[in-house]
Each structure stands twice: as structure tokens, then as C-alpha cells.
Amino acid sequence: MADEIAEQPEAIRRTLDALLPLREELRGLFAGRRRVSFVARGSSDNAATYGRYLLEACAGVSAALAAPSIATHYRADLDLTDTLLVAVSQSGATTEIVECVDWARSHGAAIVSVTNVADSPLAKGADVALVTRAGPEVAVPATKTYLTQLVAMAVLADALGADLEQDLARVADEVAGAVRGAELVEPAVALLRDAAHVVVTGRGLCLGTALETALKIEETSLTPVRGYSYADLRHGPISVIEPSVVAVLVAASDGPMLEPMTALADDLRRRGARVVGIGGDTPFARTCDVHVPGPDLPEPVAPLGLVVPAQLLVEQLARARGHDPDNPRGLAKVTRTDSH
């Protein structure tokens, strides 16, 4: 896992080189359609969450996350002639997602796939295949395949109206800097190592990163972790915050969510929780018990950099707790769900 985290700067560069030339095809495929729907599972679903916010906030395109069971179990008869379906799977072989593509196409949708395997069923079944260039991933937890999925989401958004190309050109260097600063997560690891309860939260464009961080801590450290939207945490679960809780907050260094995230950090500390902040600005950092620096990137592409210190934290935390982050108990690379 550590080696694959370190490979990410080059994986980003390769993926941008491969996908940016496909923007004209993506624009043509979306022409005459009104909305984008994402279908995914696991880490890919967290990448899709970023894609959904990015399209709506920066490209002015209506977007949503689809429920795979609508296709695979309910067999709903929907009119999708105005829809671009984006199917996301690192392996491109998740049966449920492939079935969703077949269903959506039969109901009029155009299909974009995001996968790391060029000859996978998902890539072959798409009108446009965004094949990431992460290279083979050996560790079970997704790192470079996840980050290159975020790159694909940003390329899609750029194609459909967001202006991201210049900022995307800076991402690989920012990620390389985060990899070189791996020791900066050590104080956060020390705080989380013996935590009885962990919650992770973010909002808007950074929500997917928060959910991905929670998922990775849970699956590698074998302890329950709750990932919340800032808004959902505020609407009830915050009442159970107490001194046994360590809260991990993920924030960009600018944008409309930064001030609310800083206020949340202050509120959580007053309730007795200890707070680990990833990213944000100087006031945000001062409000946290432990702060891990984030990338020098604007909010629309900040999640591509913010996930890297989170990955480093996850890898080191698993080892500090005596677990093997490369092979978490009971997990496999390809997501499988029931077929009946």
C-alpha cells in the first residue's frame, strides 16, 4: 500500500495524458442530454460522490448517484434518453455494475465507463471508456486506482463545462509533495491509535474524501468508523460526541465549506472530542488538536490532493494497530453483491 501511494504522481500524469484528449468525445456524447447519473460501489462510489458535486458545483450539470438495485433487482422501467450514465469500477468486472450498464443502455442512456482495466467488460461496453493509468494494484485497499478515478471525474467535469485544466496540471506535483511528507501524519496516527470511537466528516466537494477516509480506516484497522456529511453530523449524531471520540475533519484550503468546517472543529472540541484536521487553512489548523497539511490546490481539485495524507494516515495507523494494511481480513479486490 505504501509503495502504491508513492506511485500516484506518475499515475496522475499518465492518466491525464490519456484522458484529456477524450474531452471532445465526452462533449459529443452528452450533447442533447440533460443529466449525469453515477453508478458504483465501495471506494468507486466515493469517487462518484466527488464527481457528482463537481459536475453540479463547477460545470452546471445536474448529477446524481444511482442505486444499482433499481436496475438489478427492481428492473425499473425508466426513461433514460436524457441521461449520461457513468459507471465506475476499478476492475471493470463488478457484475452488478456491468448489469446496470446493460439495463441503462436498454433504456436509452449513453454510457461512460471509468475503470483501470482496458479489456474489462465495463470498458468494452461503454460509448466512451475513461481507462485510468494507475497500473496494477496489489494491495487490497484502493489507493492509486481511487485517485486516478478522481482524475477521471475532473476530466469529465472539464469536458462538460468546468474550467479545471490548469489546476489539474498542478495536482501531480502537489501529490508528490504530500508523499515526501509522510512523517507529517505521525501525530495524527498517535492520536487515533488508541481511539475508542472515530468519526470522519467533510462536506460538498470534500465529502467523498471523508467517506473514503472512513472506509479505509475501518477496513484496514478493523474497527467501526462512521463517515458523515458535515450536515448529517450536525443533525443528530453530534449529540453523542464525547471525550472518547476522535473526529477527523477533511477540508479544502478555500471555498464556502471552509468556515463551517472550522466552526465544527471548534464545536467538537468543546464537546470533549479530540480533532484531527486534514487540509484547511491556518485558522482551521489552529482549531484542531492535530493538523495534517493539505495540498495547495483550489477546492474543485483539492480532493485529489487531500486523499493522499489520508491514505498515508490509514497505512501507518493500520501498522500501529498491528494489522497488515495490504491484506485486510475478509476483503477482495472485486466488489461482489448478491445476485438474487
pLDDT tens profile 158-195: 999 999 999 999 999 999 999 999 999 999 999 999 99
- Residue 339 pLDDT greater than 50, yes or no: no
- Residue 44 pLDDT greater than 80, yes or no: yes
Give the burial string for 208-226 (b: 16+ CB within 10 Å, else e): bbbbbbbbbbbbbbebebb
pLDDT digits (tens, 9 = 90+) for 111-143: 999 999 999 999 999 999 999 999 999 999 999
CA 207 to CA 49: how far, in whole Å?
7
pLDDT digits (tens, 9 = 90+) for 269-301: 999 999 999 999 999 999 999 999 999 999 999
Query: Mean pLDDT, to the nearest integer, of 239-266?
Result: 94
Comparing 333 with 202, the larger pLDDT belongs to: 202
Specify the pTM: 0.95
pLDDT band at 340 (very low <50, low <70, confident <90, very high): very low
User: How many residues are there in the chain?
Assistant: 340
pLDDT of residue 16: 98
pLDDT of residue 231: 82
CA 52 to CA 149: how far, in whole Å?
13
Query: Mean pLDDT, to the nearest integer, of 224-249?
Result: 86
- Residue 242 pLDDT greater than 60, yes or no: yes
pLDDT digits (tens, 9 = 90+) for 204-219: 999 999 999 999 999 9
User: What sign does the CA torsion over 120, 300, 308, 10 have?
Assistant: positive
When the pLDDT of each residue in the chain is averaged and rounded to a whole number, the result is 95
Q: What is the DSSP letter of 206?
A: G
- Residue 317 pLDDT greater than 70, yes or no: yes
pLDDT of residue 232: 85
Residues of the chain above pLDDT 70, percent: 96
- Residue 99 pLDDT greater than 90, yes or no: yes
Provide the β-strand partners of residue 129. 113
CA 149 to CA 218: how far, in whole Å?
21
- Catalytically active residues are 333
Asked if residue 264 lies in contact with residue 230, where contact means CB atoms within 8 angstroms, the answer is yes
